[in-house]
């Protein structure tokens, strides 16, 4: 027994300096909503390409662990001017970065359309109680009208995803499946397993039709 105890003490003494050297990290979630251009989008954090194969339109990820602090993010896609932003990421914080595209003003009436990548950040705030849906749109129009059909409710919840701003729909303690629809077309489904915040991002596909994706974030988010 004494031998085991001494071994554990020695192991702890060896591991503690190594743990102390570990960087304090935060997390970055990537969302690709860049519809113009060709191929996939590349996301670079401080010059390092996160995924060599690139991200398809409408693809989102979990949180990538990166060293907390000031971070430079760049997004590249063929046929679109690159976009970049600098974020300040706290230890243990998760920040979502949505890449989308805006059309540049034409210098001449017959100039072909040109696009530039823009980046929208969703920051976390206080933990929510109950079940809620946070919506944001990167479409051209100022808002997109959605219906949230909640299992167990007779009537859908009418909601509006605003351009580059967060809007919310409170669902109280309801846990049923949620269908997010545009008219009669279901854009995305939400399966609330735990109380918290479910984020819906509305974007346009390559043909200009409106699509949506969703993911879970235990905290409220605000665009900024």
> What pLDDT is recorded for position 71?
94
Positions in the chain short of pLDDT 50: 1-12, 16, 18-20
Characterize the bridge pairing of strands 131-137 and 196-204.
parallel
Cα 54 from Cα 99, distance rounded (Å): 13
Q: What angle do CA 177, 216, 181 make, to 5 degrees?
A: 45
CA distances from 134 to 9, 25, 94, 195, 221 (A): 48, 25, 16, 13, 7
pLDDT in tens, 150-194: 888 888 889 999 999 999 887 766 667 899 999 999 999 998 887
> What pLDDT is recorded for position 4?
40
> What pLDDT is recorded for position 175?
67
Cβ neighbours of residue 43 closer than 8 Å, sequence gap 6 or more:
30, 32, 49, 50, 51, 55, 73, 74, 75, 97, 99
> What pLDDT is recorded for position 6?
45
Q: Tell me the whole-structure pTM to 2 decimals.
A: 0.84
> What pLDDT is recorded for position 22?
58
> What pLDDT is recorded for position 13?
52
> What pLDDT is recorded for position 143?
96
Domains, in order of start, for the chain: 23-126 (no CATH), 128-224 (2.60.40)
Any idea how long the chain is?
224
């Amino acid at each position: 027994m004494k031998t085991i105890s001494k071994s554990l003490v020695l192991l702890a003494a060896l591991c503690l300096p190594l743990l102390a050297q570990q960087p304090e990290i935060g997390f970055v979630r990537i969302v690709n909503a860049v519809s113009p251009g060709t191929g996939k989008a590349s996301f670079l954090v401080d010059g390092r390409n996160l995924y060599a194969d690139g991200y398809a339109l409408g693809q989102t990820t979990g949180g990538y662990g990166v060293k907390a602090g000031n971070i430079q993010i760049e997004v590249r896609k063929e046929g679109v001017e690159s976009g970049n932003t600098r974020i300040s990421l706290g230890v243990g914080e998760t920040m979502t970065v949505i890449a989308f595209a805006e059309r540049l003003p034409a210098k001449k009436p017959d100039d072909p359309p040109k696009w530039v990548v823009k980046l929208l950040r969703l920051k976390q705030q206080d933990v929510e109680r109950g079940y809620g849906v946070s919506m944001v749109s990167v479409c051209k129009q100022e808002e997109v009208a959605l219906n949230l059909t909640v299992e167990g409710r007779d009537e859908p919840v009418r909601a509006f995803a605003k351009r580059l701003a967060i809007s919310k729909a409170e669902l109280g303690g309801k846990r049923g499946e949620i269908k997010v629809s545009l008219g009669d077309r279901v854009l995305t489904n939400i399966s609330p397993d735990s109380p918290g915040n479910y984020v819906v991002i509305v974007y346009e596909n390559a043909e200009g039709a409106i699509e949506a994706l969703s993911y879970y974030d235990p905290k409220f988010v605000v665009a900024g």
